[in-house]
Structure 1
Amino acid sequence: MKTRLCLVRHGETSWNAEQRLQGHLDIPLNPVGEAQAAATAASLATVHFAAVYSSDLQRARQTATAITTRNRAAAVEFHDRLRERNYGAFQGLTYTEAETRFPDDYRRFKQRDPLFTFPGGGESLSEFALRVENVLADLAASHGGQQVLVVTHGGVLDIVHRLAAGKALDAPRDFTIPNAALNWIEYDGARWHLVSWADKRHLDGARDELPNA
């Protein structure tokens, strides 16, 4: 009764290209991201999914819709619990701008301080991780023995990888999170395990999520 998830980060946006923090702001795919979504859809065209879940933010919705239209999978269920981390006052800023305007806060952000909460109502890393872990637990409980597609964001995938690989929240990231790549994990009834990660053979190229995001 293993549950297998294929997790896909949304395609590229103009803000990804500008190294601008998106968080909960609703930014659409750019033309590169649309092409990436189409390529990911083609790579999954013959893969069966019992269910499809996606963040309700536009960049993820567009990616999920491209995949399911090609795949003819079940209708997408959109959930705000699959959103990117809320970066509070950092949202809309480039990483350089955030460091200039909020030097002390940016230092704690870059250090991956689990208890640091962004000014302006953002989430701490601990709060964000708990949200992601709870979503995964619900999917495992609802889809025992099934294969499920999840379209989400770079920050969510950072937490997913750490959970499946047993890495601490505050450890430096030593894995990539490219736009529109395929990431597979499996639940054995007790814990999650990595199956494969950052498969981008179907893509011409993809931007990695920045290490401290």
Structure 2
Amino acid sequence: MSRRVVCLRHGQTLWNVEHRFQGHSDIPLDETGMAQATRAASLLAALRPTMIVSSDLQRAYDTASALGDLVGLNVSVDKDLRERGGGEWEGLTREEISARWPEQYVAWEAPGGEEVTDVAARVSASILRWAARLDDDGLLVVASHGAAIRLGIAHLLGLPEDLWSALGGLGNCSWSVLEEGRRGWRLMEHNAGTLPEPVQSDDSPEVTQS
């Protein structure tokens, strides 16, 4: 048997709908987001997770808790699973960002924000750290954020940085599945759980456009 990791993005928030950069801002799920979390929990429960860990931000923790409550597991918290910090962009819409920082918007580099390489390293390290605690046939569910998950997976798989954008963004309460094989971890599913739809995320425009 192989260890598996399900990387679950949080449910919808009001700032997602308004296309505001959330980053480290602690924004709760809206009513739709709570319903999405409940639906995702009902589907993922069938995989019989053995461990659940979440970002410390409320939108991810509440998403994880919907699953934890259903399957009877406690949710551990790891700050390293937070979304990419947005610096001066947090709370602003994409239109406001592009108008005030046109060059930085194209590069998707927020003044005072986190570098993508730093986010990728901390998230992938967290995933591996928690996965190491699994039994050989265990299943870990990691509740995190759109950009954080995509960057963490790309780094974990050993993709060169110039190919990270080849992985598309994740919709709210969609997930990606990693499985440990004889030659390391591999991506089995990406952005699963829903029919394709526009992605509203802090992630860069080039990977969230539909």
TM range, smaller chain: 0.7 to 0.9
CA contact (8 A) 1:44 1:71 kept: no
Give the Å deviation of 1:3: 2.0
| RMSD of Structure 2 on Structure 1 (CA) | 2.2
Deviation at 1:159, TM superposition (A): 1.3
* TM-score, length of structure 1 as denominator length: 0.85
Tell me the number of residue pairs that the alignment of Structure 1 and Structure 2 aligns. 202
Gaps of 5+ in 1: 110-115
Stretches (4+) displaced over 4 A: none
Provide, for residues 92-141 of structure 1, a one-character-per-residue CA deviation record: whole Å limited to 9, x for no partner.
111111111122222221xxxxxx5x323x21111111111211221232
Structure 1 match to 2:124? 133
Return the offset for 1:207.
4.8
2:19 — aligned with what?
19
CA distance in 1 between counterparts of 2:197 and 2:12 reads 8
Q: SS of the residue aligned with 1:85?
A: coil
- 1:149 maps to which of 136, 141, 151: 141
Matched, 1:33 2:33: yes
Moved more, 9-18 or 100-109: 100-109
Question: In the alignment, does 2:189 pair up with 1:196?
Answer: yes
Matched position secondary structure for 1:159: helix
**Structure 2 regions of 5+ residues with no counterpart?**
206-210
After TM superposition, give the deviation of residue 40 of structure 1 in Å. Answer: 0.7
Q: Cα 1:36–1:51, aligned 2, differ >3 Å: closer, same or farther?
A: same
Shift in Å, 1:175: 2.6
| Aligned-partner Cα distance in 2 for 1:129–1:176 | 14
Q: Residue type of the partner of 2:187?
A: L
Rounded Cα–Cα distance in structure 2 between residues aligned with 1:103 and 1:64: 36
CA distance in 1, matches of 2:166, 2:12: 20
- Structure 2 partner of 1:80: 79
**Which amino acid in 2 is paired with 1:153?**
H
Match for residue 159 of structure 1? 151
52-61 or 156-165, which deviates more: 156-165
- TM-score after normalising by structure 2: 0.86
Using a 3 Å threshold, how does the CA distance of structure 1 residues 167 and 53 change in structure 2: closer, same or farther?
Answer: same
Does the Cα contact within 8 Å between 2:54 and 2:143 map onto a contact in 1? yes
Equivalent residues of 1:50, 1:147 under 8 A apart: yes
Please state how far the C-alpha of 1:165 moved relative to its aligned partner: 5.5
Give the partner amino acid of 1:156: A
2:178, 2:186 within 8 Å by CA — same for their partners in 1?
yes
Q: Structure 1 residues 170 and 19, CA, compared in 2 at 3 Å: closer, same or farther?
A: farther
Identity %: 33
Q: Secondary structure in 2 aligned to 1:184?
A: strand
Is structure 2 residue 204 aligned with structure 1 residue 212?
A: yes
Question: In the alignment, does 2:10 pair up with 1:10?
Answer: yes
Counterpart-to-counterpart distance in 1, 2:125 and 2:182: 15
